[in-house]
Amino acid sequence: MGQRKQSPGDRISEAEHAVMEALWTESPLSAAEVCERVCADNDWSIPTVKTLLGRLVAKRVIGTEPQGRKFLYHPLIERSDYVGGESRRLVDRLFGGRAAPLFAHLAENEALTDSDLEEIEALLKEMRK
């Protein structure tokens, strides 16, 4: 089960992301097992999960392996690679590729807690070393 880097064509919808989170947490999983983890929270049925799994296979972000009469699904991209790509797209699209305006926006809208600010300060100190 080799991992690959996410490519720009791998845009994952919010619904598909819920399925990916289940697979990043534990895999391989069958469609029924994915449904056990995501259906109740999202008011979905097994056909919905199978549709989402099919889309993710087509996007080449999850792979399948046969097990008897069913398939097991596993991620082909690391969660950290996906988050990194999405973060970069957000900063590029909304803040001209600069992270400082993002932090300024969050601070101005009181979206950062004291704990968040402490973590950011610690990260900046670590990066400067």
- Considering the domain boundaries, does residue 50 fall inside one? yes
Q: At 65, which CATH number?
A: 1.10.10.10
- Considering the domain boundaries, does residue 25 fall inside one? yes
With the CA atoms of 120, 122, 123 and 129 taken in that order, what torsion angle do they form, in degrees rounded to the nearest 10?
Answer: 150
Q: Which range (39-43, 49-53, 104-108) has the least confidence?
A: 104-108
Q: Is the pLDDT of residue 100 over 70?
A: yes
Q: Is the pTM of this model over 0.85?
A: no
Question: Exposure of 77 by Cβ count < 10 A (0-12 exposed, 13-18 middle, 19+ buried)?
Answer: buried
Confidence of residue 1 (pLDDT cuts 50, 70, 90): very low
- Considering the domain boundaries, does residue 45 fall inside one? yes
Which residue did the predictor score with more confidence, 12 or 103? 12
CA 103-98-118 angle, 5° bins? 30
Q: What is the pLDDT of residues 19-44, one digit of tens each?
A: 999 999 999 999 999 999 999 999 99
